[in-house]
Structure 1
Amino acid sequence: MLRKFLSVQLFLFLCVAVTLVAQVKQVNVDNLPDDQIRRIVAEMKQNNLSMDDINSYAERKGVPPAEAEKLKTRIQMMGLDKTLDKRSNTALFQPDAQYKGRSFNDSDTSQVDLFRQNGNVEIIRKKRIFGADLFSNKNLTFEPNLRIPTPQNYKLAADDQLAIDVYGYNEMQYNLTVTSEGYIRIPNLGPVYVNGLTIEEAKTRITKQLSAIYSAINSRKTFVQVSLGNIRSIRVLLIGEIEKPGTYTLPSLTTIANALYVSGGPNDNGSFRAIDVIRNGRVIVTFDLYDFLTKGDLTNNIVLQDQDIVKVNPYQTRVELIGEVKRPAIFEAKESETLGNIIDYAGGYTDGSFKDNITAYRINNKEREVINIKKSEIAQFKLKSGDQFFVDSILNRFTNRVTISGAVFHPGNYGLEPGMTIKNLIDKADGIREEASLNRGIIRRLNEDFSPAIISFNLSDVLSGKSTILLKKEDSVVIFSKFDLRQSYDVTIKGQVNRPGVFPYADSMRLEDLVLLAGGLSDAASLKNVEISRRVRTDGLDNSADTVRAIVMKIDLTKDLNTIDGKSLILEPFDEIVIRKEPAYSAQANVSVDGEVLYPGQYAIISKREHISDVIRRSGGLKPEAFAEGAVLLRKTYINDADSTLLNYKLALFYSKLEDSSSISSVAKMMNRKYQLLGINLEDVLKRPGSKYDILLEEGDVLKIPKKLQTVQLFGEVYFPKKIRVDNGSSFKDYIRGAGGFTSAALKRRSYVVYPNGEVKSTRKIFFFNKYPKVKPGSEVFIPSKKEKKGLSVQESIGLISGLATVVLIFVTLMDKIK
């Protein structure tokens, strides 16, 4: 009995569990808090995922693509995308890196790779063997050209196809294939043996045989042309120190270079200079790739035959040449070659190389050896496998350089001549400029112990010949400009000018000049009460609280801007001028009236006391079909710059109190709209002009008066959201029933109605009943949804169910054993 009871309980438990799993809702990124987004980013970073991997990550988690895009937007809004873009598994090569006392710059990146392994930077030297890139270059191929004329030394064999063309007095064409016995069979003639013959030899034999059935051949009225059609395939064996040794089936026109290319070329131990072709048990040719690489010579690149063996021998001598040569690499050398030959293979020296001495590093029996090779010994220096040669660069210094800079016409580097003075250098630089300071110049010089020194001189004395100073190598002469030795002078003008700003000061500059530079006065400018502030320049120190910081002058200008109280106004450096607006000046301000009025359009605001009723009256009043209850007023979010700054400050404080980035985003979108809706009641405005409902107009206001509306729109948690025709006797619930009724997720007590004029009324609670607002024509009814209840995820629910089911089964089994 107990077992049956537990079995029934287990069945009911599993049913409930399956129902719970089925009710787990899909992930909605908009509802995820910021902490959850941060946990997701942390998990992605731990798995070394970037922003580009978000879609695949979301797919693994069962999140649809639309939500994955929202997740990417949320991560970017929270500034976490940069965290995911930082990868730490690879360290790139850093220019001028140091390793074991040696510097590596950009030119060394081809020879040195840096990578990070277990937090330690290691250096691995790549083997850049001269000629190896020939077989890894995708833009280079040695595929044989099958469309060229047949080589004269090409010998026919089985599976070759011959095209025989008989033309002239007789016309006939044959396409015949050489049989395995070496014959071609010509119709009405019989077999002709062509195996081992060249094309010319085969043509002679075939023409002789065809003359038996075409007698016009002997009288030279019929001619015979023989050419090679489809060629046969041959099998070639590639062995030795090669990347991919084996037997290859290749076209019969394949050369040694073709075979090497398809097999990947010599490996790290393979020779580029001793490649043997073995035919019938003996070496018939030895191919040297360096002949092709350095001279373009393919003389020994013979056409292979069936069953040929291409053998790549191991290299005997290899040396490395690095530094200031055109092609630094590892080179293979023959026994008779010297260091001079290796430099030739490297393309010679670079322009900045030091040729007088080459440093060699050689491996002896027990230790390494450093050898200095003079320029005269390079051509005869014998090589040993493993040698490393380093060609240094010339020193980055000059034997006779002096420099002049500053207020001269041609600053720069000049050659130092014997007995050269500062005046000689200035003359070479074409003299000093007009703004040069004649009181003092300097020479930057290195002492004998290479410590820096400054030597000053009087430029006037030098130019007049009173002072003579000899220059030394690497001296740097500086001639100062007067403009560089003083602060830049300027004046500022603000207020009612066309181009306010900061302008360079000039001697004897007047206020009139500055106004002209600023584009003249604006239409609103007032010539009275112009304010000029001027810096205070006094000697000594004054710490009193009444210290004057600026001199402020308030003046009235004449119409020609020339004089102040009959005197000309001369400006001083750093003066600031403010020209204010005329107190009674006012620019036009307009409002717009759209919709069902007699004269819609723009209207100027006559006075600061202009109301809505005033502009309705000026527009001719409402039309008979106008719907006053639906009238709305749109007002600009920002009226002026001051409002913009104040509102932005208030919004910043408001944003700081919001807990989630999604809330901040929705508020920001709302505030970035150009216009905001201002609810009005036009019926009350027209009934009681000048009342509190009849608000004052502002510049940019838009008044919209629609036609009579006959529908109601329903949104949210109803089964069929749609527009419904207005019925004067219908209530709130009647319209809900017209849309199919509330859904199970509807939050009825939070329902609300938005009226056409922007007014909003919500549902009220009276005891235990909901009192819904009245629905008017043109209204929009919104039914919000209930809050999503947070619970276990699908994986967590399945895990919990499985664990509980296991416990119940164990308990049932124990009860059976007890019985």
Structure 2
Amino acid sequence: MNGFQSIIIYMVFLINLPAFFKVNALKIGNVGLLDTLKFREVYIHSMKKLLLVQLLILFVCVGAYAQIPTMNPQTLKQINVDNLSDEQIREIVSEMQAKGIKIDQIDSYANQKGIPASEVLKLKQRINALNLDESLKTNKDKANVFTNEREINGSTDEGAKYNKGEAVTEAKKNRVFGADLFNNKNLTFEPNLRMPTPPNYRLATGDEIMIDVYGYNETQMQLKVTPEGYIRIPNLGPVYVNGLSMDEAKVRIRKQLSTIYSAINSGNTNVQITLGNIRSITVLLIGEIERPGSYTLPSLASIANALYVSGGPNGNGSFRSIQLIRNGQPIATFDLYDFLTKGDLSKNLILQDQDIIKVNPYKTRVELNGEVKTPGIFEVADHESLSDIINYAGGYTDVAYRGNIKGYRINNREREVIDISENEIVGYKLKSGDQFIVDAVLTRFSNRVNITGAVFHPGDFSLDNGLTLKGLIQKADGLKEDASMNRGIIRRYKEDLTAQLISFDPKAIMSGAANINLQKEDSVVIFSKNQLKEQFLVKISGMVKTPGYYDYAEGMHLEDLILLSGGLKDAASLQKVEISRRIRNQGGIGNDSMLAVIQHFDITPDLAINNSGGSFQLQPFDEVMIRKSPSYTEQADVNINGEVIYPGNYTITSKKERISDLIKRSGGLRPDAYPEGAVMVRKTFVNNSDSVMLNNKLEVFYNKLQDSASIGRFKSDIQRNGQLLNIDLPYILKHPGSKYDLFLEEGDLLNVPKKLQTVQVFGEIYFPKKIQYSSDLKFREYVRFAGGFTSQALKRRSYVVYANGTVKGTKKVLFFNSYPKLKPGAEIYVPAKSTQRGLNPQEVLGLGTGIASIALIVATILAK
């Protein structure tokens, strides 16, 4: 329920309240005075009046509310983002937050809502301007966290416990060393069907044998092993091959073929026997496996192939004890760790039909964390120790502390902490559930000293036995030339780690008159003379090529600084060169009212000083100002184009040159010129001082604006390089020199169009178009030719922009709109109604007052 509906209900309640008390008074106080019929008549009459008033109020309110445009997201495609208020932008962001839409998904969201692509960029800029983009960056992340939490916790307490435990088990399983072997999408373990047939491969029903006879006799055969175990050779008969290895089958087939091809025995005919398409076998996977069951695999599949297609061992499955059972007897035990650590696949046997693979439960698992290369959970064989587990983890990292490993073990009743020294690691026996942590070495140094400042190679050095301060300075290649020889300091830590400073005399240290023995973590600082004093600079500004600050050097003169700055500009004045100097009063006695010493000089073109004939020596922090020559003026150009005789650029000849003078210089107007439509474009800012003053005024105005869209539109208008300046050229040509005949300024652009014959219609009309101008047509007739006003048209705010830039708006005469007159080249603009949702306080107050007045009138009429 929104605020407007609440107002309606509240008003209906207030109207019902008097009638409610009136009826109850009749019921309570007049039981003995009025009979039942009288009571019923009064009650029904009162309720009729109330019902009529309520219906009237609801009709007025609903009708008024229906005219208020709402911020329905489904109709966003009809709204211009520039016209949306900040509150409406926040509503859009709130809807996106509720749906978990992130800021980078706003393009797809806008497309779903029907927002044109041209408006999407504006919407992003408005969201960024209101600092609402941060709230959209983590929406989906928060939604995912909430979803994941629901998935883990479940919808009921029992489901929560079950699902949470399942998630923990899954996370633990993924940390088991070797588990990622079966989660890697880039590793398929598919059997290689293109490899040579293994010699121990046993033929069976479904295999295909390819026989190639060549030499004196040539023939090729592709024969399949029948269910009875035979292959049928043409012109020879069946040959039994079931259960034979490939080598055995080759001998038997060659012997049978020699009975019909006698050249085989003499060697003139050769026989090549290979395996073609192989059969499929069925194997059974049982035990602690992710997806146990029966699987159909190629006959060349191995144990690893079967484990992969079944998902591998589950959370309780062993990676070390995987049995291959054939004909009811275990024939091999496959250890995945042999493959992972050594690349050994010798126990990865080729499977046969009806083989069983059993994954046993693990016996011992331990966890190793900390400074090892691959921390995780490792399965331990009976003969392995902690050193083997460290090897499985890839060994120690470079910063591992190897002297002691901390462990946690579960005994019969509780947990205990165990410490394993470096010597005990090799033979340390493990127990399932053990947890070990390898710590990192300390970050401190055992023999470090440091020296910084005015030495040639500052940095860290090793603290050798008996290293002194002089020895450390010599290790750093000695003192620089700018080293301060009066005082240096040593930062040192006491035994309780509190810091202390020890000062020393570098001159005495280097001469051998004094020396200091260093300790671990001592930090020596040698100060630089140049760093201890403020950097001396001089400044030059004004009419030089490169104004700015320059390093001061002793003996620097005025002409030196001018040359360093690139020399004088063409507009530089040789008179009144000003030098300002700081006042240094070290004694504290002087004229307190004096702030700086100012001196003026006149210089010659060769930079010599006229006043004294010599040069002026500068001091640190002097500031030199070279001013512009008062008679120097740069050319200023204006442009005139359109229907004049000689269009183009013209240089302003004097400060009093006007528009009429420019028309004369350009040869005057052409016969088909339309002076009433002439416009002038002038730069927004004439000079820097104008822009600074205007910016200060604009900042005050910006602070008064509430909506960011209004501020943005206003700033874009102000920051344009030029602004339209409407002029009345016919009047200027008739009255040259009048106040309407403006003085020209640099950058002015004057355009005189040819005779215009159309009127353009924009805005909330059904078919924007250009319409031929006619003096007989009025405003509404032009709009009617363009399809008429739309339902969103704000007629009373329509306005006309004439060809010369003059703007006239619609006036209100009593209850009717008085539209501006049209001229050739005019443009009609019909704005849209406000898209603000709901009523503002003034509209609510006015609506409530009107409703109350109507209700009072109706109640009075009914009472009569």
Q: TM-score, normalised by structure 2?
A: 0.80
Kept after mapping to 2: 8 A contact 1:715/1:721: yes
* 1:360 correspondence with 2:407: yes
Q: Which residue of 2 aligns with 1:547?
A: 593
Match 2:187 to one of 140, 146, 151 = 140
- Structure 1 residues 395 and 453, CA, compared in 2 at 3 Å: closer, same or farther? same
Match 1:202 to one of 234, 249, 253 = 249
Match 2:473 to one of 389, 405, 426 = 426
CA distance in 2, matches of 1:720, 1:356: 87
* 1:78 correspondence with 2:130: yes
In structure 2, give the amino acid aligned to 1:560.
Answer: D
Kept after mapping to 2: 8 A contact 1:127/1:330: no
Query: Can you list the C-alpha shifts for 1:421-443, whole angstroms capped at 9, x where unaligned?
Result: 22222122111111100101111
**CA drift at 1:147:** 0.8
CA distance in 2, matches of 1:489, 1:620: 61
**CA drift at 1:481:** 0.5
Query: Can you list the C-alpha shifts for 1:142-182, whole angstroms capped at 9, x where unaligned?
Result: 11111111111111112222222232333332222222222
CA distance in 1, matches of 2:815, 2:172: 84
- Structure 1 residues 706 and 506, CA, compared in 2 at 3 Å: closer, same or farther? same
**CA drift at 1:382:** 2.0
Kept after mapping to 2: 8 A contact 1:234/1:306: yes
* 1:584 correspondence with 2:636: no
Q: Which residue of 1 aligns with 2:291?
A: 244
In structure 2, give the amino acid aligned to 1:257.
Answer: A
Match 2:483 to one of 422, 430, 436 = 436
Shifted more, 485-494 versus 80-89: the winner is: 80-89
- SS of 1:568's equivalent in the other structure is coil
* 1:193 correspondence with 2:240: yes
Higher relative contact order (CA 8 A, sep 6+): 2
**Structure 2: which 5+ residue stretches go unaligned?**
1-50, 146-163, 165-170, 840-864
**CA drift at 1:761:** 2.8
Q: Which residue of 2 aligns with 1:184?
A: 231
Match 1:41 to one of 70, 90, 93 = 93
Match 2:103 to one of 51, 63, 73 = 51
**CA drift at 1:535:** 1.8
- SS of 1:472's equivalent in the other structure is coil
**CA drift at 1:43:** 4.8
In structure 2, give the amino acid aligned to 1:74.
Answer: R
Q: Which residue of 2 aligns with 1:702?
A: 749
Q: Which residue of 1 aligns with 2:559?
A: 512
Kept after mapping to 1: 8 A contact 2:69/2:836: no
Match 2:605 to one of 559, 566, 573 = 559
Kept after mapping to 1: 8 A contact 2:455/2:473: yes
- Structure 1 residues 747 and 414, CA, compared in 2 at 3 Å: closer, same or farther? closer
* 1:450 correspondence with 2:497: yes
- Structure 1 residues 578 and 315, CA, compared in 2 at 3 Å: closer, same or farther? same
* 1:473 correspondence with 2:529: no
Kept after mapping to 1: 8 A contact 2:323/2:332: yes
Q: Which residue of 2 aligns with 1:274?
A: 321
CA distance in 2, matches of 1:758, 1:183: 103
**CA drift at 1:665:** 2.6
Shifted more, 129-138 versus 534-543: the winner is: 534-543
Q: Which residue of 1 aligns with 2:43?
A: none
**CA drift at 1:285:** 0.3
Superposed, which structure 2 residues align to 1:588-603 within 5 Å?
Answer: 588-603=635-650
Shifted more, 750-759 versus 56-65: the winner is: 56-65
CA distance in 2, matches of 1:80, 1:179: 75
CA distance in 2, matches of 1:789, 1:493: 57
CA distance in 2, matches of 1:127, 1:593: 79
In structure 1, give the amino acid aligned to 2:522.
Answer: D
Q: TM-score, normalised by structure 1?
A: 0.84
Higher helix share: 2
* 1:324 correspondence with 2:371: yes
Q: Which residue of 2 aligns with 1:337?
A: 384
CA distance in 2, matches of 1:650, 1:416: 67
**CA drift at 1:452:** 1.6
CA distance in 2, matches of 1:230, 1:272: 33
Query: Can you list the C-alpha shifts for 1:731-782, whole angstroms capped at 9, x where unaligned?
Result: 4455445445555665555443322111223344556665543322222233
**CA drift at 1:617:** 1.3
In structure 2, give the amino acid aligned to 1:333.
Answer: V
Query: Can you list the C-alpha shifts for 1:562-602, whole angstroms capped at 9, x where unaligned?
Result: 44523432222222222211111111110111122222111
Q: Which residue of 1 aligns with 2:398?
A: 351
CA distance in 1, matches of 2:793, 2:334: 87
* 1:521 correspondence with 2:573: no
Shifted more, 573-582 versus 444-453: the winner is: 444-453
Kept after mapping to 2: 8 A contact 1:718/1:742: yes
CA distance in 1, matches of 2:586, 2:138: 58
- Structure 1 residues 241 and 21, CA, compared in 2 at 3 Å: closer, same or farther? farther
Query: Can you list the C-alpha shifts for 1:596-653, whole angstroms capped at 9, x where unaligned?
Result: 2222111111111111111221122222222222211111122222233333333333
Q: Which residue of 1 aligns with 2:509?
A: 462
Shifted more, 414-423 versus 685-694: the winner is: 414-423
**CA drift at 1:61:** 7.3
**Structure 1: which 5+ residue stretches go unaligned?**
1-5, 94-116, 118-123, 793-819
Query: Can you list the C-alpha shifts for 1:266-319, whole angstroms capped at 9, x where unaligned?
Result: 222221111110111010001111211121111111111111111111111222
- Structure 1 residues 489 and 720, CA, compared in 2 at 3 Å: closer, same or farther? same
Match 2:271 to one of 224, 239, 261 = 224
Q: Which residue of 2 aligns with 1:538?
A: 585
Kept after mapping to 2: 8 A contact 1:29/1:71: no
**CA drift at 1:232:** 1.5
Kept after mapping to 2: 8 A contact 1:511/1:562: no
CA distance in 2, matches of 1:50, 1:33: 22
Match 1:417 to one of 464, 467, 474 = 464
Q: Which residue of 2 aligns with 1:389?
A: 436
Kept after mapping to 1: 8 A contact 2:69/2:834: no
**CA drift at 1:408:** 0.6
Shifted more, 762-771 versus 598-607: the winner is: 762-771
Match 1:377 to one of 399, 403, 424 = 424
CA distance in 1, matches of 2:447, 2:88: 69
- Structure 1 residues 246 and 21, CA, compared in 2 at 3 Å: closer, same or farther? farther
**For this pair of structures, how many residues does the alignment match?**
754
Query: What percentage of residue pairs aligned between the two structures are identical?
Result: 60
Query: Can you list the C-alpha shifts for 1:321-367, whole angstroms capped at 9, x where unaligned?
Result: 33333333322222122223223323333333333333333222223
Match 2:669 to one of 619, 622, 628 = 622
CA distance in 2, matches of 1:472, 1:245: 68
CA distance in 1, matches of 2:519, 2:306: 66
Kept after mapping to 1: 8 A contact 2:456/2:478: yes
Kept after mapping to 1: 8 A contact 2:757/2:825: yes
CA distance in 1, matches of 2:370, 2:817: 90
Shifted more, 599-608 versus 685-694: the winner is: 685-694
CA distance in 2, matches of 1:169, 1:292: 49
Shifted more, 531-540 versus 59-68: the winner is: 59-68
